[in-house]
Amino acid sequence: MNKPQLLAGLAAFALLSTPAAAQTAPEAVAEAALKRAPVFDGHNDVPWALRERVGNVINGFDFQDTTDTAKPDATPPVPMMHTDLARLRKGHVGAQFWSVYVPSNDDESEAVQQTIEQIDVMKRLVARYPNNLVLVANATELEKAMKAGKVAGMLGMEGGQSIGSSLAVLRQMRELGARYMTLTHGKNTPWGDSATDAPLHDGLTDFGRQVVREMNRIGMIVDLSHVSEATMKDALETTKAPVMFSHSGVRAVNDHPRNVPDSVLPAVKANGGVIMVVLYASFVDPAAREHGLARTAQKARLDAQYMGNPAAAEAGLKAWDAANPAPKTPIAKAADHIDHIRKTIGIDHIGIGGDYDGMDAAPVGMEDVTGYPALFTELAKRGYSQADLEKIASGNMLRVLKAVEAYASAHAGDPPGETPVAK
């Protein structure tokens, strides 16, 4: 055998002995995965963006293209929306939990009304684009819609104040289309502790546990983003169906109270739940978190220094912002959270919950919903297989949804939870 033939033979042998994933460019692995399993994202705040920007008056609102929605000259400046039909397609989004978020407040009756208004606006938006969007009631309908090329939607309530401490309201929200509920948001509810409020209940109260059991019975997913560590543990101890974290990172990578501590991860695995990794820069990137803390401290100092002169305090903060720009978060920071979950509890417990239109900064290259392929390419570069990526994109979330529905179906004959109403 001459030298050219020998070299050709060795090259062929090397190719045959190289794993298939290594022979394929990461971009191609990501593209193949997202074509087979489009993203089922855990959290998008379009309904709240519509409330904030246009007061839910949407008959003339163009959701096909929202790239003209920025108002840089407003005070404060209004950024461009992250989401529209064209960009959902480009980002390979096949299913979306639309968050019917309302702010945490002490007036639960107001929160209930606002939540119904947010459900209404999302239903009206979907109805305007029947060839592109659809709201579905269950996993079977969701998979059918995805196969038909539509963005299948479900509604998720963000914050337990939206049920007004009433199991009856919880059940009726489910009838209106809500398929998950985040037990708290930024503040405690009367029955559960938030991650970002002073502890009041040491987790869930007895009624809070009853809420979890009733959610299991009616087939609503228990969402543990935003809740305290104690609430996470109480909910995981109580639930009989898998849970989700609709948009959270892990504290081992970025020690933010919104993220999931390692002490909770084994219980998530035992429960069969899924952590849908958030893309909010301050949640995924320690540098962005530190910048935010420094800015908060500076604002407090200026407010104290210029007490009675808010214009001076505002000018001082503007000057600080100019001298201290926020760090740019690389996509690798989000991937680090995924790596940690896989290493700790396995590939079957990872999803994606972007938090688009509910955040002010995302990783560079993921500034809007077109960015999912870039994240999956980064994961492919790290050795994730196409099968791994398909699980992260939508397979794991679909498994959780089906398990929650199966539990509810098996317990359809159980009596509803009851608590006495005030006379």
Q: Same domain, yes or no, for 338 and 296? A: no
Please indicate, yes or no, whether residues 349 and 299 belong to a single structural domain of this protein. no
Is 43 known to be catalytic? yes
Task: Give the whole-angstrom CA distance, residue 267 versus residue 264.
Answer: 6
Q: How far apart are CA 256 and CA 268, in angstroms?
A: 19
Report whether pLDDT(247) > 60. Answer: yes
Q: What is the mean pLDDT of residues 324-342?
A: 97
User: Which residues have CB under 8 Å from 39's CB, separation 6+?
Assistant: 91, 92, 93, 94, 95, 352, 372, 393, 394
User: Residue 152: inside a domain, yes or no?
Assistant: yes
Respond yes or no: is residue 349 known to be catalytic.
no
Catalytic residue among 92, 201, 226, 291: 226
d(CA 302, CA 311): 11
Paired tokens of 353? 């919950």
Residue 299 structural domain: 286-326
Q: Which of 84, 193, 336, 355 is catalytic?
A: 355
Note whether residue 140 is domain-resident: yes
Structure tokens at 127: 């109805």
> Could you tell me if residue 3 is inside a domain?
no
Are the CB atoms for 421 and 255 separated by under 8 Å?
A: no
* Active-site choice (158, 285, 336, 348): 158
Co-location of 203 and 291 in the same domain:
no
Q: Which listed residue (43, 201, 291, 340) is catalytic?
A: 43
| 196 plus 268 within the same structural domain | yes
Task: Establish whether 185 is a catalytic residue.
Answer: yes
355 tagged catalytic = yes
Q: Is the pLDDT of residue 268 over 80?
A: yes
- The verdict on whether 226 is a catalytic residue reads yes
- Number of domains forming the structure of the chain: 2
Give 20's pLDDT tier (boundaries 50, 70, 90).
very low
Active-site choice (185, 201, 256, 340): 185
Q: Is residue 70 part of a domain?
A: yes
- Is residue 281 over pLDDT 80? yes
Q: What is the mean pLDDT of residues 30-45?
A: 98
Exactly one of 247, 337, 340, 349 is catalytic; which is it? 247
CB 200 within 8 A of CB 174: no
Task: Tell me which residue of 257, 250, 276 sits closest to 96, measured CA to CA.
Answer: 276
Query: Is 247 a residue of the active site?
Result: yes
Which of 326, 354, 382 is the last residue in one of the domains? 326
Task: Return the CATH number at 65.
Answer: 3.20.20.140
User: What does the mean pLDDT of the chain come to?
Assistant: 94
CA 274 to chain centre: 11
Please tell me whether residues 77 and 149 are part of one structural domain. yes
Structure tokens belonging to residue 166? 């009433």
386: its two tokens? 């196409």
Establish whether 45 is a catalytic residue: yes
Both 136 and 98 in a single domain? yes
Model confidence at 8, pLDDT cuts 50, 70, 90, reads: very low
> Given 275, 307, 326, which residue is the final one in a domain?
326
Q: Are residues 127 and 204 in the same domain?
A: yes
Q: Which of 45, 229, 336, 390 is catalytic?
A: 45
**Res. 2 pLDDT band, cuts 50 70 90:** low
Is the entire prediction scored with pTM above 0.75?
A: yes
Average pLDDT score over residue span 346-356: 98
Instruction: Note whether residue 416 is domain-resident.
Output: no
